[in-house]
A and B are shown apart, each in its own frame.
Chain A
Amino acid sequence: MPSLKPSKYVEEHIAPAVVGKFGDALAESFSITDPHAKYLYHSTSTSLFQAENQIRRKLASLQPWDALTVAHLRVIHALHADLNSSDFSATFDAQKSLVSTYNDWFRSDNTAWSLPVVYVMYRDLRTFATRADEALLLKGQKPVKLAEAARLIQVGFGLCGSDRTSTGDSKKLGVLYMASLLFKIYFKLKSTTLCKNVIRGVENAGSLNGFQVPIAHRVTYRYYMGVLHFLQEDYEKAEDHLSFAFTNCHRNKHRNRHLIMNYLVPLRLLKGKRPIPALLSQFSQLSELYQTFITAVKLGDVELFDRHLIHVERQLMKRGTYLIVERCRQVCLCNFVKIIHALKARSHQIPLNSFRKIAYEVEEEEGEGEEEPEAGDSKLEEVECLLANLIAQDRIRGYIHHQAKMLVLSKVDAFPVQTVIRSY
């Protein structure tokens, strides 16, 4: 097992990065996932106190990095102890101490060079909070660490957003990363209403168009914005955000692309747009889920659509997309009407009876006509209701003449291309 002495760690990693303001290099030195953490632990496992003193002496002229490095070393030791006991509260507390100390310094620094350090510190904070909460749950206690982490991340988020520097070297560059970190936590805590404050913070930070914000940050942020709009059934904005995220997502980040596509496929299907088969086949789970829907929609086969919806109900609900897929049934119905229209030699007046198939679920109510003279044909009433909805949504142009039991289609563009999803 290689080892890294504290003096070497400080002289060859911390000090040069601080003096030279190499943010990325320094971030590695404070990341818990970097190999140095194991090596440093190995060399200091029996003499933490001695190592701390050594670090303080060597970094005395580079405050507050002496205290920060000591705090980081404590995190490493706490983590090692916690890995044995399966309790991460001590590690979380140590990381919290590190982040708090860092915030005090970060507050007064008006440049962006150390942002990579911010990213890894807060990223690790969230990781430890998640694991600490899992341990708390196992012990039958209330999980509170993630919420605590969110409050601290909110501070860092505020420090980034409030930087008034107008040049490219501004802490504003970190706003989107911090916002996405908060989104992750609030989604996990199922407190999506708290995301509004985050969005407001990003908007208050002003336009980021002139800044070199990493594309990965933009993609992540736009992904979460897309999901939030999706949850509010604001499908136009959802598609806009998610399309940006997918287009700009690194082609090798397969899991991320899958997460984005999970929402994008049904969003586009709702507009009658089918994904390119070669694209969909890259995501085997989505392909399994949606291929039957795509077939049913193309054929206008409502029964097939409904059967498959029941079949994959649980999966769609877990993915949070059941409700929108259910609405894609409208596209299926609309295509059925198109097919009937074609079969009727494109006649503009079609008897409602021709569409009885779409009301397959409605049972014939026999013998009711005698008791209630005005009772209508239930199937035909269902057909009328379904078609009225398609007309109201502008999927079909025309009207239903109730007494004549006819669908009258517009002679011009009876089935307009769907650009906007209406809802009633």
Chain B
Amino acid sequence: MSTQSSWPPSLKEFVNQTFARCNDSNRTDVEAELKSLIFEAYKNGKLWTISWSDVQLQTLLPVTKRKQNPLTFTAPTTVINVDDEDDRRQKRLRRFDRIPAAAPPVHGIHITIYDDGDSQAYHQVSADYQKNIPDWDHHTIVGCSQQLEKPYLRLTSEPNPADVRPLDVCKKTLDHLKSKWRAESNYNWICDQFKSLRQDLTVQRIKNDFTVKVYETHARIALEKGDLGEFNQCTSQLRQLYKLGLQGKQEEFLAYHILYLIYSRNHSELNELLSSIPDSLKQATCVQHALRVRFAVSTANYRRFFKLFCQAPMMAGFLMDRFIERERIRALAIMARGLRSIPISYLSRQLAFDSEEECCEFLKSHNAHYFEKNSRIWDPKPAKDALQQAALKTRKVDIKGQI
């Protein structure tokens, strides 16, 4: 049973495209019309039936027959006369007063579709939508910091716009972090910076293709350095973002998800995932590879597993590194029961060791280092019990700190 999204995918796509097409000058009008449209659709129960890709917003139509008079000013948007809202506006203005005049605020995209976790119930429905729909802008801030680098600090109070970077600065930050990572490879520092960058996007409620790129980049770096906790955080967010219809490397991260579930021995979730993979994603090379790894592990086919390990696309090898030792032990336990007269060179090649010496070291560390009469032929008989014990131990997976 697939989970039903809280918003139709076509609506999410429509909203994302709308914001991609508008600019600072007409964003306010576009937002107002968009909210009105969505509210009307909701009230009439047509949220899921409207063909959103065919909808055309009036405020996005090109202006014709009306030249822009530089001396004309647009009338300010009507302010809703609600005392509580007035107070909030005053507070926001007071915060902005602290901003130096030399750094005027830069507006980022700050309206988004709420995901499942953010769903809000419409307890009252009335003709005047503007008074009853939650004001999506109200609790979202627009940052104005121009800093490229910023250490991560867990928020303990309302974020200060002066400390938050707007979208265009975030984009520069990402490029900056990438080049720094290539140059310095300081993981602790880069992780701190990425968490800070992600936080700036979160408090501004920015969810777009750029957000996807940030999480994908952080996930790859975390994976490379073996930080599975951070990797999991990023990939969980990515799965939510892909559900919104945002563009990204969905096939790549689906493959990583499969491999991670193999590593964590999460059979029920893996079965569920397998039954919900769309055919379009299944054709991707990296997904095919991950599915073959799953089959090899499921059937204890060590020959295939280690061949696939040697052919791992993209960063799949980093994930497979996490369970290659356990698969080697398992393979040795099977070989010990079923094979005789095995040259160490064969063993080394089958289990994808870099050298026979490395293979011997592995055998020693698992009390399986026995050979026949001064030869390079592995003697599995005395090794059998130790390997079976080792194989049993690998059935328990320690994933503390990764959830």
Contact = CB atoms under 8 A, between A and B. Distances in A.
A323 B271 contact: yes
B119 A142 contact: yes
B7 A385 contact: no
A140 B119 contact: yes
Given A137-B4, A140-B47, A388-B337, 7 more contacts: A140-B6, A232-B267, A326-B298, A327-B298, A385-B301, A400-B339, A402-B343
Interface string A318-339: 1010110011011000000000
Interface string B263-288: 00001100110110000000000000
Interface of B: 4, 6-7, 42, 47-48, 116-117, 119, 121, 267-268, 271-272, 274-275, 295, 298-304, 330, 333-335, 337-343, 345-346, 349-350, 377, 391
Nearest to B301: A385
A394 B117 CA distance: 49
Could you tell me the dominant secondary structure of chain B's interface residues? helix
A251 interface: no
A200 interface: no
A320 B338 contact: no
A9 interface: no
B166 to A, nearest CB: 30
Nearest to B8: A140
A307 interface: no
Contacts of B121: 141
A231 B272 CA distance: 11
B339 A424 contact: no
A318 to B, nearest CB: 6
Given A137-B4, A140-B47, A391 B271 contact: no
Contacts of A376: 346
Contacts of A141: 6, 119, 121
Chain A CB within 10 A, most for which of B268, B298, B346 = B268
Interface string A128-146: 0000000001101110000
Interface string A373-413: 01010000110111111111000000111111000000000
A326 B303 CA distance: 18
Nearest to A315: B275
Contacts of B295: 326
A400 B380 CA distance: 12
A318 B339 contact: no
A322 B330 CA distance: 23
A389 B272 contact: no
A142 to B, nearest CB: 5
A233 interface: yes
B317 to A, nearest CB: 21
Among A317, A320, A329, max chain B CB count under 10 A is at: A317
A313 to B, nearest CB: 9
A127 interface: no
Nearest to B273: A317
Contacts of A253: none
B341 A402 contact: yes
A381 B271 contact: no
B268 A424 contact: no
16 contacts: A137-B4, A142-B119, A231-B268, A317-B274, A320-B271, A327-B299, A374-B345, A376-B346, A381-B303, A388-B334, A389-B299, A389-B300, A392-B334, A403-B341, A403-B377, A404-B341
B298 A386 contact: no
